[in-house]
Amino acid sequence: MSERLLEVDRLVKYFPVHGSLGDQIRRRPRLNVRAVDEVSLSIGSNETLGVVGESGSGKTTLGRTVLMLERPTSGTITFRGQTISSLKGEQLRQLRKKMQIVFQNPYSSLDPRARVRDIIAEPLRAFGAARGVIDREVERVLEAVNLPEDSTLRFAHEFSGGQRQRIAVARALIVSPDFIVLDEPTSALDSSVQAQILNLLRKIQDDIGLGFMLITHNVDVVKFMAHRVAVMYSGKLVEVGNTRAVLESPFHPYTSLLVASVPKPDPDNKIGDVNIVGEVPSAVNPPPGCRFNPRCPYAQDVCRRDEPLLREVAPGRWSACHFAGELKESPTPGSA
């Protein structure tokens, strides 16, 4: 087992909802979007943790908060033994050398007026690197992401989506970080290009050794990329564990639903009647008890009353379901 790189303990991030003027006059209590609610997890130094969830599950907020791009409402984040959730100013800035992020959309995350060299070198320049160092490092990361050397003087718009995402990865790599959050790194790319970028990210991890938090809605991408997977639902972690174990024998009914809903490129293997109505609940006013209970085929009274805690059900397998381990067969008929 690789050493712990990042540890997150009961991390909470709320965003206040601004009520109407009438609400304020009547002094109604302030409401919050509970984007990340008591999330605990850890990532090893050479590990990819996949964070999978649907829109509104809080996965992007989790990624941003872990990097201290959002200030946590409560909870602690420990990076290589140092508590970073209380850092401010210059100390926080220095941290950016070690933690980086790659965003979903390479069409909007790269400055259209800057040359590729300047885009990639910017993090180094922010830390006052000398010109010679910058040239050498730019060359190094360009090679790492397989971009031709002559791309440095061109502009981002001259590149295709896949190449732009390579530029974004190069920019993250140039400060030699220990940890990168990949926020939907291939969702904006064509499917034939997605595979190239996924292969590249894995090669980079194997070559230089760093931790990834891979945020995605795509179960297939997690399957191929992640050592371990964390499933989020409505701001909560509902299941964490080894990728193959979680996807093949999920402990949480939501994970089962998610896995069963993934279409397979095989007409003989159709998604069965995924007979679950309803949608992801509002994160402002989540249902009491388990947040999945209104959609769960196994919901009992206890699920509507008590919120289940994430607990270790089997070695290395965590689930936040009152009946984890007791629901043996997959609850959705689709997986047959």
Partner 1 sequence: MAEQPLLEIKNLNVSYRSAVKTIRAIDNVSLSVNRSEIIAIVGESGSGKSTLGLSIINLLQKPPAVVDSGQILFQGKDVIKLPEREMASLRGTGISMIFQDPLSSLDPVYTVGWQISEAIAMREKRSASWKPGPFKREDSEPAPPSGGARRVVGVRLPRSRRRGAYSEEVIEALKRVQIADPERVIDRYPHELSGGMAQRVMITNAIVQRPSLLIADEPTSALDVTTQAQVLRLMREMRRDLGASILLITHDLAVAAQVADRVVVMYAGEVVEFSDASRIFKKPLHPYTEGLLNSIPRKYREEGRLEAIPGDVPDLRSPPSGCRFHPRCKYAFERCAAERPHLVEPEPGRMAACFLRYSS
Instruction: Among 249, 261, 287, 298, indicate the residue that binds partner 1 (CB under 8 A).
Output: 261
51-90 residues in contact with partner 1 (CB under 8 A) are 54-55
Instruction: Give the interface segment with partner 1, choosing from 76-84, 99-107, 175-183, 191-199 (CB under 8 A).
Output: 191-199
Instruction: Among 194, 234, 255, 330, indicate the residue that binds partner 1 (CB under 8 A).
Output: 194
Instruction: Find the shortest distance in angstroms from Cβ 222 to partner 1.
Output: 9
Separation of alpha carbons 223 and 310, rounded Å: 22
Integer CA distances (angstroms), 63 to 59, 68, 210, 216, in order? 6, 9, 16, 11
Instruction: Find the shortest distance in angstroms from Cβ 128 to partner 1.
Output: 36
Q: Are 253 and 321 in contact (CB under 8 A)?
A: yes
Determine if 190 is a binding residue for partner 1 (CB under 8 A): yes
Determine if 257 is a binding residue for partner 1 (CB under 8 A): yes
Separation of alpha carbons 212 and 287, rounded Å: 32
Determine if 262 is a binding residue for partner 1 (CB under 8 A): yes
Dihedral (C-alpha) 323, 324, 330, 333: value to the nearest 10 degrees? Answer: 40
Render 71-105 in DSSP notation, one character per residue: --SEEEEEETTEE-TT--HHHHHHHTTTEEEE-S-
Instruction: Among 97, 98, 217, 304, indicate the residue that binds partner 1 (CB under 8 A).
Output: 217
163 vs 293 by CB, closer to partner 1: 163
Can you list the alpha helix ranges (DSSP code H) found in the chain? 21-25, 59-66, 89-95, 116-126, 131-144, 161-173, 191-208, 219-225, 243-248, 253-261, 301-305
Nearest to 172 by CA among 201, 149, 195: 201
143 vs 279 by CB, closer to partner 1: 279
Instruction: Find the shortest distance in angstroms from Cβ 54 to partner 1.
Output: 4
Chain CA centroid to CA 297, Å = 27
Instruction: Among 270, 285, 311, 312, indicate the residue that binds partner 1 (CB under 8 A).
Output: 270
Determine if 154 is a binding residue for partner 1 (CB under 8 A): no
Determine if 26 is a binding residue for partner 1 (CB under 8 A): no
Determine if 334 is a binding residue for partner 1 (CB under 8 A): yes
Please give the biggest Cα pair distance in the chain.
66
Instruction: Find the shortest distance in angstroms from Cβ 221 to partner 1.
Output: 6
Determine if 278 is a binding residue for partner 1 (CB under 8 A): yes
Q: Which residues bind partner 1 (CB under 8 A)?
A: 48, 54-55, 160-163, 190-196, 198-199, 202, 217-221, 223-227, 243-244, 257-258, 260-268, 270-271, 273-274, 276-280, 334
